[in-house]
Amino acid sequence: MRVNRAWLGLLVLVLPTLLVAMDMTALLLALPQLSAGLGATNVQQLWISDSYGFMVAGLVITMGTLGDRIGRRRLLMIGGAAFAVLSVVAAFSVSPLMLIVARALLGVAGATLMPSTLALITNMFQDPRQRGQAIAIWATCQFAGGALGPVLAGFLLQHFWWGSVFLVAVPAMALLLLAGPVLLPEFRTDRAGRLDLASVGLSLVAVLLMVYGIKQVPVESVPVVPAVALVVGAAIGALFVRRQLRLETPLLDLRLLRNRPFTAVLIALVFAGIAMAGTGLLVTQYLQSVLGFSPVASALLFAPMGLGTAVGTMAAPALARRMKQPTAIAGGLAVSALGGLLLVGVGGASALPLVMIGITVLALGTGPLFALGTGLVVGAVPPERAGSAASMSETSNYFGGSLGFALLGVVAAVVYRSRMDGTSDSLAGAVATSRHLPAGQGAELLHAAREAFTACVHVTGVIAAVIFAGLAVLILTMRPATRPHFPATSRLAASGSSSHEVC
């Protein structure tokens, strides 16, 4: 395939990448309007917000292997068509239940897009240097989409109704469906893991239960149900792992974890996701509830975090040409640790510029990990398993984000309550209570609550700095990437297997 055609194909591939990332975050600003329009209860709002992410997380492993088997371009086209249709359904939903179902089905379609796009890049770019540049562009669009989602939603909500947030995906998916068959190659192989239905069921249930538990533990006053979900999900996950290690052609080839660079990058993706998501959670609340910015203004002020990651990913290939990839990744993580430390100084008149500089530096340093690290993951496996490897990368990133919201959210809650000596459980609660108090008492309560929440930001910055510094050490100790050894039991004889690539 000619290089020009490959780069044109990459432009087509970044469309679904951008939109899936935007769909994850754009609803945050649209939720109040659509909830008012549809009359959604608090529980229904929760499911409208989370059903999409739950299904993406639960099915991305299955879709990665399915694309390897039935054809990555075919799965991408099917997912793109479904995403366009379901976006229209979501935009014109007439009840909360209809929107919840549409969002869940959008998650199913979204799960087909991410591993398919990343796996196709490995087919389209055989030259390692070009592949690294392509993956950097792909990662840039992913994180830029997450940053721009709330900004675009804020603009649309000022001029149109809440359904316009969903309709943005339709023209982009239409372009994918028209240009994809012309510009994208097809790749499928008989050597991909077969679609073992028991494994599919185990992975889906395990991921859904664990993600549900992680998200709900911090918000439940008595988190019995989320705790049970976590335990049951972990038990089912253990059964899934045991089954994969026994199958000749597993849904998810866990033997890949024997490759130390592969495993180190996956661990780094999880913990970097924890640090970034937790920092993002605290900073967005700080901008709104402490500094007093509106949701739209906060989204604009927070955009440098996603854009910083995007710049870092774009710069990663140039860094890799001047130094070894582990050195570039570790150096970037050290920069991210510095960004975390900058957040420790937030407060007073310089609060806003220091917050923005801190999150930008923190995000900028993660770029080499997301660009070069993702390249190491998909480059460490045979081409026929690229979809499975891509799904592992995406799952690690998503789990890290979910854990970050939960774990650092709990830490922040503990710090806040200790600073308030039990007089307030949350900053939002303090704001609501202050409205019913005399002016002097209300102002005193708000001042104390904002100081306590600022301390939460400081603690989160320290935790993020420690995580990134630890990951830098981990990456530096890993050996150069090599292809893992695949036991004979996991391969089919060459005479009895075939792979097919059709341009």
**pLDDT tens digits for 307-332?**
888 888 888 888 888 888 888 899 99
pTM over 0.85: no
- Of 121-125, 187-191, 483-487, the range with the highest mean pLDDT is 121-125
The residue assigned the tokens 């239940």 is: 97
Where is pLDDT greater, at 468 or 138?
468
**pLDDT tens digits for 106-128?**
888 888 887 778 778 877 887 77
Strand residues in 238-354 grouped as ranges (E): none
- b/e map 100-109, b = 16+ CB within 10 Å: bbbbbbbbbb
Q: What is the DSSP string of 366-432?
A: HHHIIIIIHHHHHHTS-GGGHHHHHHHHHHHHHHHHHHHHHHHHHHHHHHHHHHTTTS-S-HHHHHH
What's residue 345's pLDDT?
87
Structure tokens at 184: 């994208």
Give percent above pLDDT 90 in the chain: 13
What's residue 501's pLDDT?
45
191 has a pLDDT exceeding 50: yes
H or E segment to which residue 473 belongs: helix 439-476
Contact between residue 425 and residue 417 where contact means Cβ atoms under 8 Å apart: yes
336 has a pLDDT exceeding 90: yes
Contact between residue 24 and residue 53 where contact means Cβ atoms under 8 Å apart: yes
H or E segment to which residue 188 belongs: strand 186-189
The residue assigned the tokens 């039935």 is: 70
H or E segment to which residue 433 belongs: helix 427-434
